[in-house]
Amino acid sequence: MIHLVTDSTAYMPASLLKQWDIHTISLKLTMGDETLDEDDVPRDTFYSYLENVNNAPTTSQPPVGEFIALYTSLLQSDEDEILSVHISGGLSGTVQAAELAAANVAPDRITVVDSRSTTGPLAMLVLATAHVLRAGASRAEAAARVRGLSQKHAGIFMVSDLQYLAKGGRINGAAKFLNNVLQVRPILHLKAGKIDGLTLARTRKRGLRQIMGELEKRVGNTGPIYAAVTHIQAEEEARELSDEIRERFDCLQLVINETGPVIGAHVGPGFIGVGGCPAGV
């Protein structure tokens, strides 16, 4: 049996994990003097906390020892294999920790893949991988598939303001001041596995239109796609984007999730975004 593993930053609902037999490992969140599994931190509680601190909580990858424990528990027979698909190595040390664990446990039976993504786009790629595995793909075939998708996928996001990026040291104070004066909405994108600035929108409504325009430009609308919508405390807008994606594209699958604390610590409430990838890659 091929076991599929991902991490908590895919933010996949428990029902979906169960349906597709997907295992997860949690990234860590340090709030004050306490370090917790991301999965153990209630989102509403966390975002209330985030609004009232000057410095963002710190985040870190799962320890190698936790990967070793998970991998060992899954390799119960000689027939067991593992495909482990994780948050971009450009954003976290999770892939490196997974690779060290795989080398320690059973390097010939475990494949680790850098998704070059996170949150909604990561969930999208993991679910696409689950589909091909259930259809009978080998571990090597499924790994090649997800690597191909990871090279071609798009992730475009909007944040409500820059204060959370400033708290985490991702931008300087002058940029935060300029944002407060102009009330612009920064639009970000995944570029070579890292989150980078793309453009600015003067209003949130215009920003949502720009996000959809970028998605269509990057994945086209002439063939089937995999898609994702992610948000933080913006459920109604996420539903509207999901409806629009279904209308404008031929979606083989559409994942909708709410981004949790590890990524949310840097982007804050009001974050919303989309992911997409041509299914024919």
Distance CA 48, CA 44 (A): 6
What total of structural domains would you count in the chain?
A: 2
Closest among 220, 166, 171, 172 to 196, alpha carbons compared: 171
Q: Which pLDDT does position 183 carry in this prediction?
A: 67
In angstroms, the CA 133 to CA 208 distance is: 34
CATH number at residue 121: 3.40.50.10170
CA 19, chain centre distance (Å): 19
Residue ending a domain, among 102, 134, 151, is 151
Residue 176 pLDDT = 42
| 169 and 247 part of one domain | yes
Each residue's pLDDT, cut to its tens digit, for the chain (281 residues) gives: 999 999 999 999 899 999 999 999 999 999 888 899 999 999 988 988 888 887 778 899 999 999 999 999 999 999 999 999 999 998 999 999 999 999 999 999 999 999 999 999 999 999 999 999 999 999 999 999 999 999 989 999 999 877 776 655 544 443 443 445 446 788 888 888 888 888 888 889 999 999 999 999 998 877 899 999 999 999 999 999 999 999 999 999 999 999 999 999 888 899 999 999 988 76
Q: Which residues contact 279 (CB under 8 A, 6 or more apart)?
A: 128, 223, 224, 225, 226, 252
Domain with 216 in it: 154-278
**CATH number for 200:** 3.30.1180.10
Q: What are the phi and psi torsion angles at 35 (to 5°)?
A: -110, 125
* 263 vs 103: CA distance, rounded Å: 28
Q: Are residues 23 and 140 in the same domain?
A: yes
Are residues 29 and 132 located together in one domain of the fold?
yes
Verify that 145 and 227 share a domain, yes or no.
no
Check whether residue 17 and residue 88 sit in a common domain.
yes
Indicate whether 63 and 27 sit together in one domain.
yes
Same-domain pairing of 61 and 159: no
Question: Which of 97, 132, 151 marks a domain boundary?
Answer: 151
pLDDT of residue 177: 38
Residues 45 and 121 in one domain: yes
214 contacts 154 by C-beta, under 8 angstroms: yes
Which two structure tokens, joined as six digits, stand for 40? 């153990």
Q: Please say which residue of 103, 124, 151 terminates a domain.
A: 151
User: Do 264 and 133 belong together in one domain?
Assistant: no
Same domain membership, residue 252 and residue 274 = yes
Does residue 9 share a domain with residue 143?
A: yes
Is 24 in the same domain as 78? Answer: yes
Q: What pLDDT does residue 171 have?
A: 46
